[in-house]
Amino acid sequence: MYYKIGERIEEFNPTTFENIDFQYIAVVSSEEWVNSNRKFDMGIEWDIDLGEISDTRATVNIDSLTGTFSIPSRKDIFGPKHKFAFALDEKGVVFIDDEGFASKIIEKIASTKKCINPCLERFLYDFLESIIHRDFILLEKYDVRLDQIESEILSGEAEDSVRELSDIRSELRDLRAHYAQLLDLSQEFEEDENGFFKDNNERYFRLVSQRVQTLHDMTTSLSDYAAQIRDLNQTQIDLKQNRIMTVLTVITSIFMPLTLITGWYGMNFVYMPELQSPIAYPVVIGISVLIFAGSLIFFKLKKWL
């Protein structure tokens, strides 16, 4: 697929790329790139394996700028990533994409965007912005869910939520790495080492950098919030364990003197005077009840129960 960058993005069928007087966008498969990359006259021999792409980056060459995209699916952060590559110079940009993800973005831009100042820089701005345009809503959903998990932990109903919290922290970590890579990419465009872009159009890349930086900061804050909630959950667990140990200690303290009395009278010595008294048994029972009640009152006053 080939597109002309104008007031709107429009498809066209080029016979050659040598003498066109407008900037263009091309989307080709990896096989088409290997067979026909020379027609774009970018001066590079680049054998790209889309399956080996692991991150989003840009590389400056003598006559071109090449790079890769590795974009997490917003529907499943842990799922397969959208992977494609690109090469660009002052005449246009070529996307090498076997999946069709880049084509979908371009078609959406073509159907929804109309530019007063059409140029390659504005298209790249729209393209990068399309990758992140719903991420503010996504991060707000994470924020709301973390608030809910915190409330569930405080109410003691967080068994399933704790497992979900671990998944959220991992997803936020992946998104933060993605934004860091996008930030490096947009800054590479802004630096424009090869002079492909007009000076007054580099503001588009600054706008992208600012938005990606905001998303990166939000993700970092949410990651810190998730870590605080994890610590809160551990604190709640420790408090529960402390309460259990307190109850066990109180019970042990109450029954220790009773155990002493039981052991003492269980020895059955002949010369124990209490054995011959008819009121000895009721007296021992009364003493045991007093010890039990007195211990409870004491622990209540100390607020240990």
**Cα–Cα dist 269/81, whole Å:** 83
Q: Is residue 124 part of a domain?
A: no
At 64, which CATH number? 3.30.460.20
For residues 139, 145, 146, 150, the Cα torsion angle rounded to the nearest 10 degrees is 170
d(CA 52, CA 56): 12
Other Cβ atoms closer than 10 A to 39: 14
Domain total in the chain: 2
Q: Residue 231: inside a domain, yes or no?
A: no
Tell me which of 55, 90, 115 is where a domain ends.
Answer: 115
User: What is residue 212's predicted lDDT score, i.e. its pLDDT?
Assistant: 93
Which two three-digit tokens encode residue 276? 């011959």
Which helix (H) or strand (E) covers residue 69, if one does? Answer: strand 65-71
Q: Which of 89, 115, 141 is the last residue of a domain?
A: 115
Estimate to the nearest angstrom the gap between the alpha carbon of 221 and the chain centroid.
Answer: 11
Query: Tell me: the pLDDT tens digits for 164-184?
Result: 888 889 999 999 999 999 999
Helix (H) or strand (E) holding 242: helix 203-265
87-146 pLDDT tens trace? 988 888 899 999 899 999 999 988 888 877 888 899 999 999 999 989 999 999 999 999
pTM of the model: 0.76
Q: Does any domain span residue 79? A: yes
Q: What is the pLDDT of residue 49?
A: 84
* Domain end among 94, 115, 136: 115
Query: Is the model's pLDDT at 207 over the cut of 80?
Result: yes
CA–CA separation, 30 vs 27, rounded Å?
10
Q: Is residue 156 part of a domain?
A: no
Percent of the chain with pLDDT over 90: 26
For residue 43, tell me if it sits in a domain.
yes
Q: Is residue 21 part of a domain?
A: yes
81: phi then psi, degrees, rounded to nearest 5: -90, 155
- Cα dihedral across residues 173, 175, 177, 183: positive or negative: negative
Instruction: Report yes or no: 126 and 80 within 8 Å, Cβ to Cβ.
Output: no
Q: Are 29 and 103 in contact (CB under 8 A)?
A: no
Closest alpha carbon to 197 in 113, 206, 238: 206
- The per-residue pLDDT for range 240-268, each reduced to its tens digit, is 777 778 777 777 877 787 787 777 777 76
Which residue do the tokens 């890349």 mark?
Answer: 205
Query: Which domain does 267 fall in, by range?
Result: 250-301
- Encode pLDDT of 16-60 as tens digits: 666 777 888 889 898 888 888 778 777 777 888 888 888 999 888
The reported pLDDT for the residue numbered 236 is 73
- Residue 258 within any structural domain of the chain: yes
**Residue pointed to by tokens 């420790």:** 238
72 within 8 A of 81, measured Cβ to Cβ: yes
Q: How confident is the model at residue 158 (pLDDT cuts 50, 70, 90)?
A: low
Distance of CA 206 to the CA centre of its chain: 24
Q: Are 92 and 25 in contact (CB under 8 A)?
A: yes
pLDDT at residue 61 greater than cutoff 80: yes
Report residue 96 as tokens.
């090498």
Residues β-bridged to residue 4 = 10, 24
Comparing 70-74, 129-133, 221-225, 291-295, the range with the smallest average pLDDT is 291-295
**Is residue 201 assigned to a domain?**
no
